[in-house]
Amino acid sequence: MCGIVGYIGNGETQQILLEGLKKLEYRGYDSAGIAVFTEQGLEVTKSKGRIANLEEKLEGTPLLGSVGIGHTRWATHGKPSDVNSHPHTDNSHQFSVVHNGIIENYLDLKEELIAKGHVFVSETDTEVVSHLIAEEYDGNLVEAVQRAVKHMRGAYALGVLTSHEPDKLVAVRYASPLVIGIGEGENFIGSDIPAILEYTRNVYILDDGDMAVLTHDGVELFNLEGKSIAKDIVHIDWDLVTAEKAGFDHFMLKEIYEQPKAYRETMLGRVSEDGKSVDLSKELEMNDEYIRSISKVHIVACGTAYHAGLVGKSVIESLARIPVETDVASEYRYRSPIITPDTLVIVVSQSGETADTLAAMREAQRNGARVLAITNVVGSSVAREANDVIATWAGPEIAVASTKAYSSQLIAFYLLGLHLARVLGTKEEAELTHIIEGLTALPEQVESILEQASVLKQVAESMSHHTSLFFIGRGVDYAVAQEGSLKLKEISYIHSEAYAAGELKHGTLALIEDDIPVIALVTQEGLFEKTLSNITEVKARGAHVFAVTNQGFEAEVAKSVDEVFAIPKTLPVLTPALAVVPLQLISYYASLALGHDVDKPRNLAKSVTVE
């Protein structure tokens, strides 16, 4: 997804912009560019592809100046190309803009501007913004931007420069994140904090409709009516080192290995010190009376976060006995969901910036529902707009493929389920304590799975030459199968499908042929026999079956499959937090065996901020 960085000060502007953009690479992008006000005026260099291509272009002709903006683009309007890359300028080359988000009415605006004589060179919505600001300019950039954005519909985080006022950098936000970094004699903008963290830890987090005017000496904040506003400076105390690979070959592998720590952090302060109870009342705004009034829960999210929601459904239904529906966020709004004031809507989002999830959440709030967010990014749009937040505290997740964020979302669901069950009295105290004991044992159990990574590497390597495979399971095993399948597709590009094991014979069995790999999850004790008979069905048609089961059952399961991997024994409801780990490792090693870019898979972005 697109990234923005901007700088004004006496430092090495070009270098600061490029370094900032590199810190945003993890978001995914297909082109990059910078604009700097130099002795020659506003100069722009941009390039399709990696930042290295841009650096190459700049090698002979660096852009020297003390104010600039930079951008990594992930194509939405128009293909990835030099000309569609940001920054964009107007016809006079006096105004330059970087933009994250989408201007929904850009075609109408473009037509109006063309009628006024503007000539466009790109297919983008962003170019319209630079022309619009130029059109509105009458000697004051801030006012021109204020007037321009009033014509725009959609989402935007903008960084704007003009050669008429080269001592100024203007930033504005609406529905797309933007932060302002405060330095000494220098100031910064960034779509994400890592872009500027090397230079400052003091930031303003802009809200929708906030505008910032940066000079060398300071930052002034306004609303879109031009009224000065005050904001608290947020001090960022997390370290960039935590966002680096720490000796692992890839961020994804590092993040898989960070899961025991992430589990502990998610539980910290939420499970009592004696390990007997879970209480979220200190951090949740919702009180016990509200909890008792909940008639149903909707869980809404995208991709991997949605898969966490599928497990969350089963956790809440089994522990708190509240009916739960799960939806992918991009569908939720359009199916006219029945949302009542006693519907609790839970949105799950690692980044907290996923456009579909945000839109679904706003729809739910418009309909009077209370929204609880499970997110990894405190300060994200989702976290700020939700009525209640459970932060997962998994630490920054850089790899596009989500691992520790997913599994810590599961931990958050367990905590929530236990909290609700205690308030509603749906489970005996002893049973809750038993589940909490299981929960607190998970970090060590994950460690023991990670120690067997080499076994999973071999499994992955042998599967990597296949073009298609299947994941099967029943109950929560099916939910985990879906996540395993997404992870494999996402980074190894091997086609795979996840099926409820009992569903195979209703069509999918036709695809089972000699030697096709099937990964079977067999962790739900009550469903063992049923799943084993489904395994027999695929074995009979020539499939090669690799099963994940619980310790103590390997021998039994081995009779029906080709290979078995045993995860430590835990309660059935908790198995997803263990069973997903071997699947993550298989995906990682398959991608590695095939020589793919594990952390930045093709066509994908870390944070999907367009609908």
Stretch that binds ligand M6R, among 206-214, 350-358, 530-538, 552-560 (CB under 6 A): 350-358
The minimum distance between CB 352 and ligand M6R, in angstroms, equals 7
Give the contacts of 208 (CB within 8 A, at least 6 positions apart): 173, 174, 175
Closest residue to ligand M6R, based on beta-carbon distance: 303
Phi, psi angle pair for 49, to nearest 5°:
95, -155
Distance of CA 290 to the CA centre of its chain: 30
Give the contacts of 312 (CB within 8 A, at least 6 positions apart): 299, 324, 326, 346, 348, 374, 409, 410, 413, 416, 417
Do 443 and 263 contact (CB within 8 A), yes or no?
yes
Q: What's the token pair of residue 386? A: 């939700």
Q: Is 606 considered catalytic here?
A: yes
Do 528 and 555 contact (CB within 8 A), yes or no?
no
Do 147 and 136 contact (CB within 8 A), yes or no?
yes
439-498 residues in contact with ligand M6R (CB under 6 A) are 490
Indicate which residue of 2, 46, 404, 600 is catalytic: 2
List strands edge to edge, sheet with 563-567. 495-500, 468-473, 517-522, 544-550, 563-567
Stretch that binds ligand M6R, among 41-49, 88-96, 397-405, 523-531 (CB under 6 A): 397-405
The minimum distance between CB 383 and ligand M6R, in angstroms, equals 12
Q: Which of 214, 107, 196, 118 is nearest to 158 (CA)?
A: 214
264-303 residues in contact with ligand M6R (CB under 6 A) are 302-303
Give the contacts of 297 (CB within 8 A, at least 6 positions apart): 313, 316, 322, 323, 324, 325, 343, 344, 345, 346
The minimum distance between CB 195 and ligand M6R, in angstroms, equals 18
C-beta of 345 vs 543, nearer to ligand M6R: 345
487-546 residues in contact with ligand M6R (CB under 6 A) are 490
Contact residue for ligand M6R among 100, 124, 191, 357 (CB under 6 A): 357
The answer to the question of residue 330 lying near ligand M6R (CB under 6 A) is no
Distance CA(116)–CA(92), nearest Å, equals 14
Do 450 and 256 contact (CB within 8 A), yes or no?
yes
Fill in the per-residue mask, 370 to 389: x = in contact with ligand M6R (CB under 6 A), - = not in contact: --------------------
The answer to the question of residue 392 lying near ligand M6R (CB under 6 A) is no
The minimum distance between CB 581 and ligand M6R, in angstroms, equals 15
The answer to the question of residue 407 lying near ligand M6R (CB under 6 A) is no
C-beta of 85 vs 357, nearer to ligand M6R: 357
The answer to the question of residue 305 lying near ligand M6R (CB under 6 A) is yes
Phi, psi angle pair for 443, to nearest 5°:
-55, -45
Contact residue for ligand M6R among 31, 130, 266, 402 (CB under 6 A): 402
C-beta of 302 vs 435, nearer to ligand M6R: 302
The answer to the question of residue 1 lying near ligand M6R (CB under 6 A) is no
C-beta of 407 vs 464, nearer to ligand M6R: 407
Do 131 and 120 contact (CB within 8 A), yes or no?
yes
The minimum distance between CB 279 and ligand M6R, in angstroms, equals 26
The minimum distance between CB 487 and ligand M6R, in angstroms, equals 6
Contact residue for ligand M6R among 400, 442, 498, 610 (CB under 6 A): 400
The minimum distance between CB 242 and ligand M6R, in angstroms, equals 18
C-beta of 127 vs 490, nearer to ligand M6R: 490
Distance CA(549)–CA(557), nearest Å, equals 8
Can you point out the beta strands (E) in 101-199?
Answer: 156-162, 169-174, 179-182, 186-190
Distance CA(52)–CA(58), nearest Å, equals 10
Q: Which residues pair with 566 in a beta bridge?
A: 549
The minimum distance between CB 359 and ligand M6R, in angstroms, equals 12
The answer to the question of residue 31 lying near ligand M6R (CB under 6 A) is no
The answer to the question of residue 304 lying near ligand M6R (CB under 6 A) is yes
**What length is written for the chain?**
611
C-beta of 307 vs 544, nearer to ligand M6R: 307
The minimum distance between CB 288 and ligand M6R, in angstroms, equals 29
C-beta of 357 vs 575, nearer to ligand M6R: 357
Distance CA(471)–CA(607), nearest Å, equals 26
Stretch that binds ligand M6R, among 170-178, 316-324, 398-406, 465-473 (CB under 6 A): 398-406
Q: What is the DSSP string of 462-499?
A: HHTT-SEEEEEESTHHHHHHHHHHHHHHHHH--EEEEE
Helices (H), 345-452: 355-366, 381-385, 404-424, 429-450
Distance CA(189)–CA(207), nearest Å, equals 14
Q: What's the token pair of residue 375? A: 């997110």
C-beta of 128 vs 175, nearer to ligand M6R: 175
C-beta of 171 vs 374, nearer to ligand M6R: 374
The minimum distance between CB 350 and ligand M6R, in angstroms, equals 3
The minimum distance between CB 37 and ligand M6R, in angstroms, equals 35
Contact residue for ligand M6R among 176, 351, 392, 560 (CB under 6 A): 351
Sign of the alpha-carbon dihedral angle for 118, 121, 123, 126: negative
Q: Is 2 considered catalytic here?
A: yes
- How many CA atoms does the CB half-sphere of 120 hold within 13 Å? 23
Contact residue for ligand M6R among 176, 408, 607, 609 (CB under 6 A): 607
C-beta of 250 vs 544, nearer to ligand M6R: 250
Give the contacts of 68 (CB within 8 A, at least 6 positions apart): 6, 7, 13, 14, 16, 17, 34, 35, 36, 37, 161
C-beta of 304 vs 591, nearer to ligand M6R: 304
CB count, 10 Å around CB of 274?
Answer: 8
The answer to the question of residue 349 lying near ligand M6R (CB under 6 A) is yes
The minimum distance between CB 529 and ligand M6R, in angstroms, equals 33
Q: What's the token pair of residue 421? A: 């069950």
555-574 residues in contact with ligand M6R (CB under 6 A) are none
C-beta of 128 vs 205, nearer to ligand M6R: 205
Indicate which residue of 48, 168, 487, 606 is catalytic: 606
CB count, 10 Å around CB of 112?
Answer: 16
Residues that bind ligand M6R (CB under 6 A): 302-305, 349-351, 354, 357, 400-402, 490, 607-608
* Residues with active-site annotation: 2, 606
